[in-house]
Amino acid sequence: MSLSERLFELRQGSNTSLQKLADAVGVSKAHIWELEKGRTANPSFELVQKLAAHFGVTPEALTGATDVPHPAEQQIERIHRDLKDLSDRDRSLIEEMVRSMRRDRTASEA
């Protein structure tokens, strides 16, 4: 699968508009459209990295060299990426929330 096909598939699968994706990665809506149509064949590595990060996939998955992970794995990667921007305090709070959820799930399974 080509970069253009994979990009279109990921964007459609995440219900992301051309404009929203363009804004997220810092390029024009027209540039994203041209990438999806295969009219721009050689995007910069920096752009490929930004697009891959946005969708929670590796650059290799975006370019078609490897398979795209399951949507749950993509979500986990997006969450992981977003955690990096939080303060130590906020990350600690989220970590405690996850532990609490795991305890609740374990208790309900018992």
pLDDT tens per residue across span 15-74: 999 999 999 999 999 999 999 999 987 899 999 999 998 988 889 889 887 777 777 887
40 and 79 both lie in a single domain: no
Owner of token pair 């990921």: 10
How many domains, the chain?
Answer: 2
* N-to-C CA span, the chain: 45
Q: Which residue range(s) make up the domain with 27?
A: 3-63
Reply yes or no on whether the pLDDT at 93 is more than 90.
yes
35 and 58 both lie in a single domain: yes
| C-alpha span between 72 and 105 (Å, rounded) | 18
Structure tokens at 106: 């374990």
Tell me what pLDDT residue 65 has. 77
Reply yes or no on whether the pLDDT at 2 is more than 90.
no
21 and 53 both lie in a single domain: yes
Neighbours of 48 (CB within 10 A): 20
Where is pLDDT greater, at 87 or 81?
87
